[in-house]
A and B are shown apart, each in its own frame.
Chain A
Amino acid sequence: MTALVNTAVFLVTPFLFLGVIGRVKSVWAGRKGPSVFQPFYDFVRLLKKGEVVSSSATLLFRAAPSVVLACTVLAALFVPVYGKHSVLSFAGDFVLFSYLVGLSKFFMAAMAMETGSPFEGMGASREMLYSTLAEPAFFLLMGSLALFTRHASFASIFSGLNVSGGISLLVVPLCMIAFFLMLLVEGCRVPFDDPNTHLELTMIHEVMILDNSGPDLAFLFYSNGLKMVLFGSLIAAFVIPVSLAPWLGLLVYLAILFAEAVLVGLVESLVARFKLSYVPQSLLLLFSITLIAFLSIISFVRWNS
């Protein structure tokens, strides 16, 4: 049952997530905007198309989108959706989750470099910078939560979180902010990256997929949406009490995802993309937040032992 529901959720929500973001942005700008199903229509249209492959690319370029898709789909299996159930779960699975995301980044960057385009090399290089700054924060955060709950897998860590305790009032908001920042970084959204920019020099994620087309582009498009939903689901897992009935949990989960999409849309409407040289500093902010969470947890644990 969990497997079925999770699969259905992860098949549908990435498109809606992107659709809601777009809709919020257009409403805020005073436009009517496309339907929330537009990303899905785009996806289907891409699937129907043929491809144009760069003449300097090799097999790696064509296989990379499939690798990215496989990594993201597999990573999704470890993420709890409603009632804190994930399809697969074992001790230390969040390590595998993070390294699967890493594998997809390797292929994204290598794929971009395949084309020999200076723009795409720039995108790959910047993507590496962002990951370097975001990755340790993820592990520091997961380590702190594992320390807090004494559990070692995604699903059990989140079901072990006691949201009512005093310390949680500090830790949970910090973690939610941290995961939301990670959602923005990993999803390549404003203020770290702008999916709507029109100049190749200012793109990061978009420029890396500049030469992809057809089904390959569709794969990358879906993977990107799914990755955002995965981080969104982690945030949701903080809030949903374990005791909730499954159907109610699912509803609350979908409502939270919706709220996050609205929030991403609002951020994109209100904030401009950071100047590139400020991005490392803002990512260090992410690291500082996780550090505060870690320090409060470790002092809490010591106090109690």
Chain B
Amino acid sequence: MNPSQWFLAGLLLTAAGGLAALFVRDKWKSRLYFVFSFAAAVPLIVSAVSVFLSGTAAASFDLGYPAGRVPFVMDALAALFVVLIALGNVLAALNGTGYLKPYEGSDKGLGAYHFNLGLMTVSMLLVVTLQNALAFLIVWELMSLSSFFLAAFDKEKAESRSAALYYFTAMQVGLAFLLTAFSVLSAKCGSFLFDDFRALTASGGASLNWVLVLFLLGFGTKAGFVPLHTWLPKAHPAAPAPVSAFMSGVMIKTGIYGILRMLGIFHGAGIGIAYGILAVSLLTAFFGILYALKQTDVKRLLAYSSIENIGIIGTGIGLGLVGYHTGNPFVALAGFAGAFLHIAAHFFMKTLLFFGSGSVYLRAHTRNMEELGGLAKSMPGTAALFLTGSLAISALPPFCGFAGEFLLYYGSVTALAAPDKTLPVAAVAVMTVLSLVGILALSSFVKAYSVIFSGTPRTRLHSDPAEAPASMLASAAVPALFTVLLGFGAFLLVKPAVQIASNVLPQAFAPETSASLAASLANLGKAFGLLSAVFLGALGLRAVLLRGKKVERFKTWDCGFRGGDGKVQYTATSFSLPTLSVFSPLYGVHHVDKNREKLLSERSTNDRNRDIFENGIIRPAGARLKKFFNLFSWVQSGNTQQYILYGILFLAAILVSIIGAKK
């Protein structure tokens, strides 16, 4: 079989899994879907790997009027995403077998859930491989719709419904940008094919750059770039954990895919766009993590952290483009390779962390960190996995998050030496912002891990939490393993990264460029090995020193104050307060202090977080739009006679046009 056939087999198996789940009993739905998703992942990954080994796979089929010929192209860029989609689907399915257990036999609609999961996977697989604008928009919209239904899984909760609707609206706004941009291109060249667009932009030059900006806005909404990110922190917490993981780990990356594909079609765009992407991405990374630090809901924290990571990926793309336009192939490759590595890294880290948050929610029935504490004792496996994810996403060695960011630093350091005037300044900005983002991420995830898993319980939970089911632990252990493997073996991924970059940039990289990049990543791998060895040595030394000595357990030093219980511990809010107070002008807090005049025990204060982009840009813009559309509200009056009048007018208009055409 050739790669296209393997791909088709995987596609059909995924769809079959989604359909089959409709027809079996609740108990078997998630297991059956998992079997199918696993069976689908094998051919999908085979096809993607063969693309990396032996070049682009292509096929084409005809849909007839109006779409016409639809080319199926799996190049290295698409193959990267196919791997992530296939793996994400399997992991979400496996995690679902545990997470969805309490919902079996309820009216939640597990059949529809799995059907939509399958549909979402199929549409994403097509999004990254179809190169016909009309077909692309159809599968793009299918992806948004199916994920909307998944986000609305807890539909009986008002919060969940409004979050899903918010998400749906945001996706339609994004779609409007894409629709306009694609229409302009296809009107200009009279075709829906990406190849024809590519020919058009080659001759059109910079005059079409505004279309590219529309594409960036449309795809940026899906990816979650500031200020179009506001749907993420609403939709991710509302969705069930496996879906949040799938959305955050894979779906938002289709926005990144779109941006990369369009950059390829626009031949790497111009230097202005490159600096624009870099600036917006740095802003996205910074605000994403600043707001993450503020959160007390663990899934909202993870959602904001996804925004941060999208910013880091965008920084890589921006740096790569700037390097390309200023004639620094090394910077270009380091930027793009960093971005690609981070796409994969973020998939594993975020899947792992959302699965962890799902296990916690399953057992403790809350996402509010302030109500948790000390879970590491009852859920040691979940705690260890969540810790791995936290370390990885804080970009700490020896995990994969560091390898990706290291490439961005390395690219920036190289850019410093460039003879260009602006580039060194941009490079120093990248390094400074990345380091600030890194330390804020560290702070956020120390907080997340420690408040949930360390110390003692802060409140009495409904039931004593037990360890998560084996299926959920297993589904989290796989990405955890990859965060380590990718960290040590990042140098192996330079060659695929060069292949992917060649689908984006009209430039081939010299072998010595990629070799020196791989060499520095290999150095990193060695240093990681050394770190592990020294750590094991220190543990061994400790064991030897403590042999035969007394090691006793005693309560924590409490300074003679014996009245405290779990509530005296530092909370998520108090932990992040000092750092946040430095940045207080950059986020809004609505501070409610009830019963000010009363005794302390009767008082309650409440800080509500505000996203300055949501309150400053998105809401006012929405309000203006609403006002504008209200001008036309008389059209829909609810008056039957009026609607009949519309019908008559419509028929009359058709009559007139037909008569006019006859003449």
Which residues of A are interface residues toward B (Cβ below 8 A)? Answer: 47-58, 60, 63, 65-67, 69-71, 73-74, 77, 88, 90-92, 95-96, 98-100, 102-103, 105-106, 109-110, 113-122, 124-126, 128-129, 131-133, 135-136, 138-140, 142-144, 146-147, 150, 152, 200, 210-211, 214-216, 219, 280, 294, 298, 301-302, 305
The interface-forming segment of B78-86, B161-169, B195-203, B416-424 is B416-424
Q: Is the CB of A211 within 8 A of B436?
A: no
Say whether B520 faces chain A, with CB atoms less than 8 Å apart: yes
- What separation, in Å, do the CA atoms of A213 and B559 have in the docked complex? 17
12 other contacts beyond A73-B534, A95-B406, A219-B538, with CB at 8 A cut-off?
A50-B549, A51-B550, A55-B555, A96-B524, A99-B402, A106-B445, A114-B455, A115-B556, A117-B558, A118-B568, A147-B417, A150-B417
B154 nearest CB across to chain A (Å): 31
Which residues of B are interface residues toward A (Cβ below 8 A)? Answer: 373-374, 376-377, 380, 383, 387, 391, 394-397, 402, 406, 409-410, 412-414, 416-417, 419, 421, 424-425, 427-428, 431-436, 438-440, 442-443, 445-446, 449-451, 454-456, 520, 523-524, 527, 530-531, 534-535, 537-539, 541-542, 545-546, 549-559, 564, 566, 568-570, 574-579, 582
Q: Is the CB of A116 within 8 A of B575?
A: no
Given known A-B contacts A60-B387, A66-B539, A152-B413, A118 and B569 have beta carbons under 8 A apart: yes
Q: Is the CB of A136 within 8 A of B436?
A: yes
Tell me which of A74, A138, A280 has the highest count of chain B C-beta atoms within 10 A of its own C-beta.
Answer: A74
Q: Is the CB of A117 within 8 A of B557?
A: yes
Tell me which of B412, B541, B578 has the highest count of chain A C-beta atoms within 10 A of its own C-beta.
Answer: B578
Cβ contact of B454, chosen from A58, A77, A144, A146, cutoff 8 A: A58
Q: Is the CB of B552 within 8 A of A52?
A: yes
Q: Report the tally of A-B residue pairs with Cβ distances under 8 A.
A: 252
A174 nearest CB across to chain B (Å): 15
Q: Is the CB of B376 within 8 A of A60?
A: yes
Contacts of A57 in B (CB 8 A): 556
Given known A-B contacts A51-B551, A92-B409, A58 and B376 have beta carbons under 8 A apart: yes
Q: Is the CB of B436 within 8 A of A132?
A: yes
B516 nearest CB across to chain A (Å): 8
- What separation, in Å, do the CA atoms of A105 and B439 have in the docked complex? 10
Contacts of B436 in A (CB 8 A): 132, 135-136
Closest A residue to B417 using CB positions: A150
Cβ contact of B570, chosen from A51, A54, A118, cutoff 8 A: A118
Cβ contact of A91, chosen from B383, B425, B520, B535, cutoff 8 A: B520
Contacts of A54 in B (CB 8 A): 553-557
Cβ contact of A106, chosen from B380, B394, B535, B564, cutoff 8 A: B394
Q: Is the CB of B559 within 8 A of A103?
A: no
Contacts of B523 in A (CB 8 A): 90
Given known A-B contacts A117-B557, A118-B568, A211-B556, A152 and B439 have beta carbons under 8 A apart: no
Q: Is the CB of A122 within 8 A of B570?
A: yes
Q: Is the CB of A63 within 8 A of B454?
A: no
Q: Is the CB of A143 within 8 A of B412?
A: yes
Which secondary structure characterizes the binding site on chain A?
Answer: helix
Contacts of B527 in A (CB 8 A): 74, 88, 96
A270 nearest CB across to chain B (Å): 27
Closest B residue to A134 using CB positions: B439
Cβ contact of A95, chosen from B383, B410, B424, B577, cutoff 8 A: B410
Closest A residue to B540 using CB positions: A66
Q: Is the CB of B435 within 8 A of A92?
A: no
Contacts of B455 in A (CB 8 A): 56, 113-116, 121
- What separation, in Å, do the CA atoms of A117 and B454 have in the docked complex? 11
- What separation, in Å, do the CA atoms of A301 and B598 have in the docked complex? 63
- What separation, in Å, do the CA atoms of A125 and B293 have in the docked complex? 12
Contacts of B553 in A (CB 8 A): 52-55
- What separation, in Å, do the CA atoms of A92 and B376 have in the docked complex? 36
- What separation, in Å, do the CA atoms of A63 and B446 have in the docked complex? 16
Cβ contact of B424, chosen from A47, A50, A53, A301, cutoff 8 A: A301
Q: Is the CB of A132 within 8 A of B440?
A: yes
Cβ contact of B413, chosen from A92, A100, A210, cutoff 8 A: A92
Contacts of A138 in B (CB 8 A): 435
Contacts of A150 in B (CB 8 A): 416-417
A263 nearest CB across to chain B (Å): 27
Given known A-B contacts A55-B554, A58-B376, A131 and B439 have beta carbons under 8 A apart: yes
- What separation, in Å, do the CA atoms of A132 and B578 have in the docked complex? 10
Tell me which of B373, B417, B557 has the highest count of chain A C-beta atoms within 10 A of its own C-beta.
Answer: B557
Query: Could you name 27 residue pairs across A and B whose Cβ atoms are closer than 8 Å?
Result: A54-B555, A55-B553, A63-B539, A69-B538, A74-B530, A74-B534, A88-B527, A91-B520, A92-B410, A96-B397, A102-B396, A102-B438, A103-B397, A106-B391, A106-B446, A110-B449, A118-B570, A124-B446, A124-B570, A125-B570, A126-B578, A132-B440, A143-B413, A146-B416, A214-B546, A219-B542, A298-B428
